[in-house]
């Protein structure tokens, strides 16, 4: 926690002079099984509710990116909605519940509903360079530094930066690219022996990290020049970067650099505000079905095509039953949460 306070909270506090409330929990530490339910949005809303009310906060935002809102059709026509607890249909129920039971209007949404991790990273880098200089992605080290130099998040930061032409002054690229994390990836790359999946890049392997970031991973490597003299690398580290690109960076995935207009329209008011900032750097395009829209529309979840339907509405029949049981208004009712005179604050988590 002290590392987070010193590297994340303190710089923003000094820069923006805004009130800060630190909430800590050991929930994640006590999970014993990989299949245990993760709290996700509950950490940012329900778990912090007393602090939110005490501080007069009426808006809570988190940063699940566009790929987290996939809608996948099954052969029988049914739709599978990714990230159900973070979708606006359930968050709207939560808002109605708090308004009905507590008289407290609390709006929560993802500010990144319409943008990819590639767009998010690049927008901060290009529009907010001072904030970017203290941005922290790594969650592994306890030292008062930004990078542990041996985790997928540090590698993701390094590669995304290089793809945008940025070399971080406080990142040891040689150490990172010869770390155990990268060495394991290199072993997998050598085992693949140049094999390509249907999408044109090497197949996804778990050591890369988040499946929904795979298209960004491939596109990022495609943009990097591993022989650039700007990157201070020893022979082994440079060889590793060359092999990473040769294995997964053969072809571009330009869809990760775009904002889908349908996703922008589906975002909430705060998500649309963030999308507007990103749109000054990246293009807003009409999204096509990636199965028929050509290479420029391909998005991936691992090696599977990522389907999207930003107009689809997730059914909430189980919540409707629960709401009627407890006398709460359902989604189809005319209930509106009580208006607030002003928004006192915003809680943010990523």
CB proximity list for 192: less than 8 A, separation 6 or greater: 202, 203, 205, 247
pTM of this prediction? 0.86
| 35 HSE (CA, 13 A, CB side) | 0
* 54 and 164 inside one domain: no
Q: Pick the residue with more confidence: 223 or 17?
A: 223
Q: Tell which residue, 226, 208, 212, has the closest CA to residue 255.
A: 212
The pLDDT value given to residue 320 = 85
Total tally of structural domains belonging to the chain: 2
Over range 105-123, report the average pLDDT.
Answer: 96
The pLDDT value given to residue 25 = 76
Domain that holds residue 310: 149-314
CB proximity list for 59: less than 8 A, separation 6 or greater: 106, 107, 108, 270, 343, 345, 346, 347
The pLDDT value given to residue 36 = 60
* 153 and 94 inside one domain: no
* 104 and 184 inside one domain: no
> Is residue 28 included in any domain, yes or no?
no
* 177 and 193 inside one domain: yes
Least confident segment among 30-34, 38-42, 83-87, 255-259: 30-34
How sure is the predictor about 69, in pLDDT bands with cuts at 50, 70 and 90? very high
The pLDDT value given to residue 38 = 72
For the stretch 282-318, pLDDT in tens is: 999 986 544 445 778 899 999 999 988 999 999 988 8
* 336 and 296 inside one domain: no
- Using the 8-state DSSP alphabet, how is residue 216 labeled? H
* 71 and 216 inside one domain: no
- C-alpha triplet 55, 61, 65: angle, nearest 5°: 165
- β-sheet with 346-348: strand ranges across: 107-110, 59-62, 346-348
> Is residue 198 included in any domain, yes or no?
yes
Q: Pick the residue with more confidence: 26 or 159?
A: 159
Contact 203, 197 (CB under 8 A): yes
Least confident segment among 58-62, 71-75, 124-128, 269-273: 71-75
Contact 157, 138 (CB under 8 A): yes
């Amino acid at each position: 926690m002290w590392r987070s306070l010193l590297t994340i909270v303190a710089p923003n506090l000094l820069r923006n002079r805004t009130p800060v409330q630190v909430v800590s929990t050991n929930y994640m530490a006590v999970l014993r099984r990989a299949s245990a339910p993760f709290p996700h949005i509950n950490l940012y809303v329900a778990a912090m509710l007393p602090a939110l009310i005490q501080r007069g906060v009426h808006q809570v935002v988190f940063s699940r990116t566009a790929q987290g809102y996939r809608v996948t059709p099954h052969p029988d026509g049914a739709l599978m909605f990714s990230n159900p607890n973070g979708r606006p249909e359930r968050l709207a129920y939560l808002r109605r519940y708090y308004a009905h039971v507590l008289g407290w209007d609390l709006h929560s949404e993802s500010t990144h509903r319409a943008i990819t991790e590639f767009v998010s990273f690049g927008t901060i880098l290009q529009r907010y360079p001072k904030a970017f200089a203290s941005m922290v992605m790594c969650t592994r080290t306890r030292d008062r530094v930004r990078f542990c130099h041996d985790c997928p998040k540090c590698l993701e930061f390094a590669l995304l930066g290089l793809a945008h032409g940025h070399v971080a002054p406080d990142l040891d690229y040689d150490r990172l690219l010869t770390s155990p994390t990268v060495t394991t990836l290199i072993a997998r790359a050598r085992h693949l022996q140049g094999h390509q999946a249907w999408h044109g890049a090497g197949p996804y392997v778990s050591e890369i990290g988040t499946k929904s970031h795979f298209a960004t991973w491939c596109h990022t490597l495609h943009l990097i020049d591993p022989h650039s003299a700007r990157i201070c690398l020893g022979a082994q580290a440079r060889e590793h970067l060359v092999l990473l690109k040769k294995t997964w960076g053969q072809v571009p995935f330009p869809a990760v650099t775009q904002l889908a207009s349908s996703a922008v329209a589906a975002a909430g008011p705060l998500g649309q505000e963030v999308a507007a900032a990103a749109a000054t750097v990246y293009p807003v395009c009409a999204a096509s079905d990636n199965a028929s829209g050509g290479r420029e529309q391909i998005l991936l979840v691992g090696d599977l095509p990522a389907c999207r339907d930003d107009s689809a509405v997730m059914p909430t029949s189980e919540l409707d039953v629960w709401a009627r049981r407890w006398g709460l208004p359902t989604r189809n009712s005319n209930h509106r949460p009580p208006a607030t005179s002003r928004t006192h604050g915003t809680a943010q988590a990523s």
